[in-house]
Amino acid sequence: MGLIEVKGIRVFAFHGCLPEEERIGGQYRVDVCVNGDFLAAEDSDRLNDTIDYGRVTDLVREQMAVRSKLIEHVAGRILSSLKAEWPGRGTWTVCVVKERPPVRGDVDEAVYTAVG
């Protein structure tokens, strides 16, 4: 068993419930992890036997480009796209971080983690 993590995928996107979020957008970070059996990759040294970090990043960027009101919704879409790309490869975790959300008060980030 092994754990692959692609952390800190930075994206500017337009998610949120407020009308101004649709216009001005905001900064997001996405972390993706998959816990699974990567023994074949350990032995073979072949990209086909593991998860391609570049493709993970592409899928995250594609889903982040589709506007959602909730980060829960976009995290779920990212999770679904990863599972479709690599079916049966393990348990995925997708963490979407909305930096400096526009709420009353001084808030660094709002975070949602989807697991599946």
pLDDT tens column, 3-40: 999 999 999 999 999 988 889 999 999 999 999 999 99
Interatomic CA distance for residues 104 and 116, integer angstroms? 32
Instruction: Answer yes or no: pTM beyond 0.85.
Output: yes
pLDDT on residue 22: 87
Domain over 2-115 is classified CATH 3.40.50.300: no
Nearest Cα residue to 90 out of 79, 101, 98 = 79
Give 102's pLDDT tier (boundaries 50, 70, 90). Answer: confident
pLDDT on residue 5: 98
Domains in the chain: boundaries: 2-115
99 vs 32, 51, 102, 106, 111, CA distance in Å?
A: 17, 27, 9, 11, 9
